[in-house]
Structure 1
Amino acid sequence: MIQQLYPQVQHNFQFELNKDMHLAAAHYIPHEDAGKCQNVHGHTYFINITIAGDELDNSGFLVNFASIKKLIHNRFDHTILNEHTDLFSTDNPNYFPTTEGVARAIWEVVQKELDTQANQPKCVQVFVRETPTSYVVFRPRRKEGQE
């Protein structure tokens, strides 16, 4: 069993769910300051996705855990992240597949799916651990008037 403590995100929603998963993927950072990371290399990423909302769907779930795993794991596991050109760029540093970029990309994929749900859950945090000693937390900016 995976047991980990995560940074907490403050929100006013009634429900919060967290989905943990591992995925193995390769990447490279297309910038000279990346040092050895300019070369293709891989990680076993540990990911936690936090979703919150006030309403459950017709099956009594905020979001089905299996659907979140399928959405992310099936898309990224055993791939080269740089090849996901709809999410990552070799020209724009804001879209390099760094740990920060991976966390943002996962949030974008998850939130795009959540936006199609009638109960309108929100992805409030994505935690990506790249190594045993390094991780990134991505939280979307709150819009004015948003919970």
Structure 2
Amino acid sequence: MIQQMYPQTLHPYTFELNKDMQLSAAHYVPKEEAGKCRRLHGHTYFINVTVAGDELDESGFLINFAHIKQLVHDRFDHTILNEHDVFNDEDPNKFPTTEVVARTICEMIQQHLDSLSHKPKCVGVFVRETPTSYVMYRPKLVKKG
């Protein structure tokens, strides 16, 4: 069962949409300090994406749930995260740690949302890597007009 309790993301928007996903992926952290995580290993990640906005599209959505799944699950499920172009082994800000995975998912989703006429915002991404460890990424929101 997907973990369904997440820290709340406060925002000034009228609508909030949450999409839960589960994906299996492997990764490694290319630094000696990472200990065991330096070796290739896998996780079943539980991910929650929060999108918010004041306006809906012509179908009555902030975004179709299926589009979020395509952007994240379809791209990363059953892959080695280090092999994706959004991560690399040279820049610590691009290592596929849980923190960077959460930020990267948020940025990927926001890039798609920016192409929509009603301009919803990705206000948070929760990534649970193990039953006892998770990251919550919240981008800094620009105050509305």
TM over 0.5: yes
Partner of 1:92: 91
Which aligned segments of 4 or more residues in structure 1 are displaced greater than 6 angstroms?
A: none
Unpaired segments ≥5 residues, structure 1: none
Structure 2 CA distance, aligned partners of 1:25 and 1:2?
Answer: 16
CA contact (8 A) 2:9 2:124 kept: yes
In 2 relative to 1, CA 115–84 (structure 1 residues): closer, same or farther, beyond 3 Å? Answer: same
For 2:90, what is the secondary structure of its paired residue?
coil
Q: Deviations over 1:74-132 (max 9, x none)?
A: 100011000112x1121111111000010011011101110101110000000000000
Partner of 1:31: 31
Unpaired segments ≥5 residues, structure 2: none
Alignment RMSD: 1.3
Structure 2 CA distance, aligned partners of 1:3 and 1:97?
Answer: 21
Name the amino acid aligned to 2:124: Q
For 1:71, what is the secondary structure of its paired residue?
helix
For 1:4, what is the secondary structure of its paired residue?
coil
For 1:67, what is the secondary structure of its paired residue?
helix
Name the amino acid aligned to 1:52: A
**Structure 1 residue 3: Cα displacement:** 5.0
Partner of 1:125: 124
Q: Give the structure-1-normalised TM-score.
A: 0.94
Q: Give the structure-2-normalised TM-score.
A: 0.95
In 2 relative to 1, CA 92–3 (structure 1 residues): closer, same or farther, beyond 3 Å? Answer: closer
Name the amino acid aligned to 2:18: N
